[in-house]
Chains A and B, each alone.
Chain A
């Protein structure tokens, strides 16, 4: 009684192996391929995971917007499943972003937390998607839950945009950025070829991890729905 074609399952299994191998390789690169950075020393190594996980979260939240629009257009529940799965994965990965950021900030900024625009905005983003989960939990009618979740998934993306854009426009942020900013951040570093290699490899790895996780989450949700449907069938046969 499988709900999935054998081919797809094999593809997902292979993707899982790939993600695991990529992750190990990425960690090896973080620790051994790049040397300690000139000003920040060893602490800078966490940056690759930090930015990688943010990219993963960004992929998740973007997918939720696409899924939301597609759902509102088609009312096909599969898009809602994609939305839910993407948000959950994005939420998990952005938690990693925040935690790794705190570990990095302690030696560099000397505090775990500071009310700095970038940190504030990423926290707001996290709260927005936590609210998405609360909204889902609070609405009982499944059709309405899907519809509202799609709408809120789109609205909440404004907090992602805010996080991505704010570092470019706010002159008072001390958060480092790649590329031009108006700010003079603390903890900035020069990009050497090795740092660049490692960074791109980590970004790619987390992209693959995000997609893999979302896929697993979709399968899990489909199984839940399958069980639910079987239950209804059994109940209606008895009743």
Chain B
């Protein structure tokens, strides 16, 4: 589904991603860990066709980035640490706006939006302006926005940022039951435990390269922090 070969991204003279290879199979949920500056956000932005690689090839569902980005975009849903919503519009207006941009059929738009609001538990607040929402509610609406057009691939960039425990737990539940539902997904996060719980595969990014890559079953949740410190530390003291 996602196929990355020899990907390089250089900011000025500073290499952020260095000849990175990565494949994500259909239906797989990859959790991407890594310290700040390891390049995981950049990697996600490249997958979302928001940034272009300096060199290397990226293919998503057979389409090549950035040349065929238009085809890829319709297949992507993105949840970021920013809500990506309009504060002064209501929840419903926000979703309707994106339904138009994603060209959902006119006849289905309103129903689809209402159904999505219902799924993320915001039906009662549909007519309220997003500014009045809590961070957790905004993030739930962001999930509704991301899967509104039923994308095949979901990209999650630090979705837990700024959420309290309850909101994070609710987000977990939503991700598992509604958003993922067998979609291919890539998530970056600092939260090792959450990533381990949700994902089917774990990768650790360090200094622009994949330093560790295995199925979730290969390492226990308890052992992960030690492994993480080893992997990121080992490469740093190379």
Contact = CB atoms under 8 A, between A and B. Distances in A.
A and B touch in the complex (CB under 8 A): yes
Interface of A: 75, 141-143, 225, 228-229, 232, 239
Which of B12, B52, B54 has the most chain A CB atoms closer than 10 A to its own CB? B12
A232 B13 contact: yes
B11 A141 contact: yes
Contacts of B165: none
16 contacts: A75-B52, A75-B54, A141-B11, A141-B12, A142-B11, A142-B12, A142-B13, A143-B11, A143-B12, A225-B13, A228-B12, A228-B13, A229-B13, A232-B13, A232-B14, A239-B236
A225 B12 CA distance: 9
A165 to B, nearest CB: 37
Main SS of chain A's interface residues? Answer: helix
Contacts of A75: 52, 54
Contacts of B236: 239
Interface string B1-14: 00000000001111
Contacts of B52: 75
B206 to A, nearest CB: 12
Contacts of A142: 11-13
Which of A75, A141, A143, A239 has the most chain B CB atoms closer than 10 A to its own CB? A143
Considering the complex of A and B, which 6 residue pairs feature the smallest CB-CB distances, nearest first? A142-B12, A229-B13, A228-B13, A232-B13, A143-B11, A232-B14
A164 to B, nearest CB: 35
Interface string B128-146: 0000000000000000000
A102 to B, nearest CB: 40
B34 to A, nearest CB: 15
Contacts of A225: 13
Nearest to B14: A232
A78 B41 CA distance: 27
A183 B228 CA distance: 77
Nearest to B52: A75
